[in-house]
Structure 1
């Protein structure tokens, strides 16, 4: 980052216009009527209709609200131009291949220990340290030192599979990076933070330290949530990474919006909301392609209560269902949608 970009960046921080959007999987107030989406972030309204919280506890009327909005908009345009001028393009990760038949190399060419045979199967990392090293090669900074090691490894493997199986996701993370870690989150099991322009900062996924302290706790929580209808169906073996799969869904939808709104210098709340609604309709159409009996009137019978709160949670919940071993029609539909998205270069 050259001195001009750094100066503009510091000024933007002072104005409060590059703070990240946050998606939480477990809002403290479960009533969806008390929450609105502004700039892609949940904000909470009090009984008088005034915004009193949300956005990760940092709601401050940023972007297109409050004083100095003209100066903020002008600053963002200058910062965007400076970043595009001052940042060199990076190499793109090649399309994913069948790792089991690639001569014992990872998708970026790094050697992995293998067994003997004509088509040796790569050895899966056996510790969080090995997983972190492997994921670093793809642009993912993963630190699960604060959660149970077995839970951490299950989540690390999920990150690896999602990146390596999706060329567009791999390309994005290779270029911009992603941070995944764990810490105490209070009322949320997980949270995803991202900027309204990928050049401003990395996407960050954080898992709650307390609710990821054991495999057994994750299995019990997933079973309880499925039976209550709050979350989507989940196989026991995939329960440790359900929350992360949900958060990865938020990451993927953000990547799609970056791709589709790449010509916009300022992604407003309206544009973001329109795009997530459009994506939701596309997924339901995919469900109809799989099963003609599924339509816009009855799709909710397959959706969790949390997935019904807004289009972003719809995407994240469907994606978690797709990744967690008990995919229903919506889980299969988002799988088809992602397959088509990856092919649409």
Structure 2
């Protein structure tokens, strides 16, 4: 019913048996040794393992990626098992006005807490799968809200890393200037463990060259007293407008309770701490302009790098034509939008992966 997972890894059990034997003979490689991980279906895994990498689109079914994504290489080196591919908003919610959490291959992901509720964000399958314990670890990607939003909608712990802290090599792109990969799990301790493993320099992603060396052990930041003496600003004009809360007074109430928790942990809350230019930034179309241009260039490059793609699609223009030619596969019931691959949402919320 929840449609959180598109497909599972037929090699997973054999990998688990081998890793169990390795643990017996030489000990664990890391805290993730033998741990099952679901990755969002825009994160590449080698086709010979038995899974697809499609961003939820039939245009990429049975395509052959040149290699594992950079973060998948790090997971495997740490002894993790790639259990399967999580559903998502198709092409990371950059395909016109489709429902959040819907993809042609995976159908409509729904929240586990309430029937038919919004799972939020393009990493919806990762969030829902983590919320019901289908895997100990899931990975999501974010361009604008797609780790943070499924994390909050599904009662989870997630980290949206700074761009370049984790590699995007092998991730079906929207924009190299905003895309990032991060953990969506059930505790901050788990999130810290996963981030410490997937972060690191990758020669296939030059943005990673700017990160600190060595990469910090984020588990050392798991300190219950970490907020003592810190100053936390509250930009109320942005956080509590109707666009964010959806006119739901309970969201404002929960927000105030969270601020009181932060105070109780020793932080100084500066309230309000409005930024004069915030409204100008929110109203600007600059982000969408960058994302639209980057998406076309980088998606074409992704298609060109594939070793094979049976659908024949090799460019964004051909992808749009494929969708138009295959409405039974690529359009949900009562689909109306014909505007193609454009991000129609404003910044914030769950607009893009």
* Shared fold (TM-score, shorter chain, > 0.5): no
Greater share of residues in helix: 1
Q: Larger relative contact order (C-alpha < 8 A, sep ≥ 6)?
A: 2
